A and B are shown apart, each in its own frame.
Chain A
Amino acid sequence: MTTLTDPPKEHFRLSMLLYDTRYRSATIQVIALIGFMLLAAWIISNTIQNLEALGKPVEFGFFAEPASYDINQRLLEYTSRDSHLRAAFIGLLNTLVVAVLGCITATVVGVLVGVLRLSNNWLVARIMTVYVEMFRNVPVLLWIVLAMAILIESLPAPRAFRGEDATASMNLFDSVAVTNRGVYIPEFLFSRSLGDIHLFGTSSIRFDISLDLIAVLIVLGGSIFAMRKVSAWAAAKQEATGDRPTIWYINLGILIVPMLILLTILGFHLGYPELKGFNFSGGTHMRNSLIALWLALSLYTAAFIAEIVRAGILAISKGQTEAASALGLRPGRTMRLVILPQALRVIIPPMISNYLNLTKNSSLAIAVGYMDITGTLGGITMNQTGRELECVLLLMLVYLTISLSISAVMNWYNNRVKLVER
């Protein structure tokens, strides 16, 4: 509280620290700071004493030691002879994989459900309400464990695919095998590959980046840039003459032709999973733990996103739709040009916090044995080395960094679409 009138000049007395609002705030802050520092010092000294008594001084040397455990779902190569740091890094990548996959699926499902909940079809709206309430009111851990149980119990074993009288068959033209040991999908292979770049030499965070992938991304980026140029040209022509030239086939050509040429040069083909012996080989193996976590997290988060999307659309007044119709816009354009840009402003901030929640909930991977950062650094590494303090603090630091980065990126985007008020 600030004083509204200038008090008469007077000499400083000690009691003014308590009674004078000008000095009192400083007093409170100093007391709070001293209290906080005392608390921190107390905790730190206790910790040092306790660790000394246990004979475990804080040090991070154990990270260089061999991890000697296996990680079965991984993006980069890793053997059990690699260090604990490498294991943690692989775990971090696994966390990011499930977070990114989950966020994408949750957004798609969530937006669909949110829109359908507003559908004027009574039955569909009710079904979506049931879906949302069912997922929101039951713990996510239960959904994860349940998804895992469904995958293990109800899918066919690989041997059901064998022989003349196979009881199970592969889907999508024999390219995808859904078994109780995980899902096998085709992998991308290049017969005339450009090779890899090896980043960071042989250190623990060494990282191989495929040059083929980079080439594909560059061509894709170039195509999109060219498409935008063509659209801009069409818009300029429309401004000048009033006629908009038809450009969709030009854009389609720009998108597809260079990509096809590149893929032919690189010798692109798919590596299909094949049944060999008692199991599938070839293709990419997505383990049950990954699928269960991904499915459960995305369906759970989608229920929350659906509510956000619904609230966002409901927040736009009906007058906006009517005004757009009065201007002669078709329903699709009304949605794209009038409703959605306004609804996004309401939708994005809570959406950010749901993405963050999904990322943090991915730490429940430990319940189904998916080796994410919690499973490696906070799980096996911690149990093997007995370094609880270092591991848990580092784990928190990693999650804090991920969370703060996501919210920084999303806040930047939010500021871009925010309504500029006068």
Chain B
Amino acid sequence: MSDVSFVRTEMLPEQAPPASEVGAIGWIKHNLFSSWFNSILTLVSLYAIYYVLSGILPWIFQSVWNADSLNQCREIMLENWGSTHGHACWAVINDRWLQLLFGFYPSHLYWRPILALILLLVALAPVLYSDRVPTKMLIFSAIYPFLMVWLMWGGTIWGPVSAALGFVVGWGAYTLLSKQLSELIGLIGAAVAAVIWWLVISGYFTGAMDSILPIGIEAVESRQFGGFMLAILLGVVAIGVSLPIGIVLALGRQSDLLIVKYMCVGFIEFIRGVPLITLLFVASLLLNLFLPPGTNFDIILRVMIMMTLFSAAYMAEVIRGGLAALPRGQYEGADSLGLNYWQAQRLIIMPQALKISIPGIVSTFIGIFKDTTLVSIIGLFDVIGLASAIRADTAWNGIYWELFAFIAALFFVVCFSMSRYSMYLERKLQTGHR
């Protein structure tokens, strides 16, 4: 009997993992062919991708960029590839892209909407990237709405200035009255003073200043607005104005004041219960009936009002969700520090509640921006309305896909960047330990 036991005295060198487990092969094995069902799924998806791409890629890239009409496009296609199917006629975009973007806005004034858009980004910078941009820029953000209105519609500068002065008058009344009497009287006084300024004095002020110092640029009528510019204009206004209104409505809905609460609940539930298109019908047909006889104001302004109310109701529900998600201790903590209602909201409740509701707020933004296309149904020429108008032209009669693809791409870029920004913001504001 010989002793066959063997004890290795030195460590074996480390071996490389099997080739089928690492690198590209390993990845494919784990992620694409891990079981027979997964393998089938992979093969089916590969075929689907091939099928879609083999149809779309030639359509996009083997295409005609320069032609005057659809028929000419088809002739060129027949000449080059022998068939008119499966090739895009981008010539229509080449021909009409300015119209799709700006509607019937006078072409020598295109710089104004472009400047307004650039300034919008500047005005948004201190809000969106508050850590990298000096806070003093916020002053420009406050001026921007009035500047934008002036740039877009043109006319005398004193109109927007007078509108802005209304806020200054209100603020003045508030500081004066709240120091002398009480905060509540201050708020009411501010509202009354501002409304009196806008309804009564503003007209005289504008007229007087215009005759003394006529500063103005060429006026553009609302019916010349259109295209993607209109979507951005409506979207920006509805988004910008609905956030503060939504916060107020959400606070009202959470409030202990019974009458205020039920007014807010009624408003929110009513707006959320009806489709936007009925509200746009109200804007185009009924709003003039609700105002004093003889009032006739601009259709775009009316649409803006209704879209703002619509998105404010949704915003209120999103923010209410954020308020409800805050632990009760935060409210009690604010009370125990002796903060009054507005101080507590401003310093403790809102910063947290808004942070929680960022995803919801941004998806409401995206929703309202997409919903601006509905104005084509009440006869405004937004991108979809313009696409129909272009198709009605004899030169481009019968063209569909190119226009739809272009419009879809425009919306996709804007909405997708908004949703990515919201993810960035969520990560930035994430203060929890995860």
Contacts and interface: CB of A to CB of B under 8 A. Distances in A.
B414 to A, nearest CB: 8
Contacts of B371: 139
Given A138-B408, A395-B278, A399-B278, A121 B31 contact: yes
B275 A361 contact: yes
Nearest to B290: A43
Contacts of B407: 142
A23 to B, nearest CB: 11
A219 interface: no
Interface string B367-389: 00011011011000000100000
B275 A399 contact: yes
A28 interface: yes
Nearest to A365: B277
B292 interface: yes
Contacts of B41: 119, 121, 123-124
Contacts of B260: 28-29, 32
A356 B274 CA distance: 10
B277 A50 contact: no
Contact of A141 (B270, B335, B374, B419): B374
A385 to B, nearest CB: 13
Contacts of A28: 184, 257, 260
A134 interface: yes
B34 A120 contact: yes
A392 B373 contact: no
Contacts of A27: 184
B288 A50 contact: yes
A136 B373 CA distance: 14
B275 A134 contact: no
B53 to A, nearest CB: 12
A28 B260 CA distance: 9
Contacts of B18: none
A142 B373 contact: yes
Instruction: Classify the interface of chain B: helix, strand, loop or mixed.
Output: helix
B39 to A, nearest CB: 9
B273 A403 contact: yes
Contacts, number: 159
Interface stretch (A145-153, A182-190, A258-266, A274-282): A145-153
Contact of A142 (B32, B184, B366, B404): B404
A388 B283 CA distance: 11
Given A18-B181, A366-B377, A123 B32 contact: yes
A146 B270 CA distance: 31
B340 A1 contact: yes
Nearest to B331: A1
B289 A50 contact: yes
Nearest to A307: B363
A184 to B, nearest CB: 24
Given A29-B258, A119-B41, A403-B273, A141 B373 contact: yes
B270 A400 contact: yes
B291 interface: yes
Interface in A95-148: 119-124, 127, 133-134, 136-142, 145-146
Contacts of A33: 259
Contact of A145 (B269, B273, B384): B384
Nearest to B43: A123
Contacts of B185: 18
Contact of A136 (B182, B281, B408, B415): B415
Contacts of B289: 46-47, 50-51, 388-389
B257 A29 contact: yes
Nearest to A152: B400
Contacts of A51: 289
A49 B295 CA distance: 12
B278 A363 contact: yes
B417 to A, nearest CB: 9
A25 interface: yes
Contacts of A138: 370, 408, 411-412, 415
B400 A124 contact: no
15 contacts: A1-B335, A28-B260, A51-B289, A123-B41, A136-B419, A137-B416, A138-B370, A139-B370, A140-B370, A142-B373, A146-B404, A363-B275, A367-B377, A374-B277, A404-B273
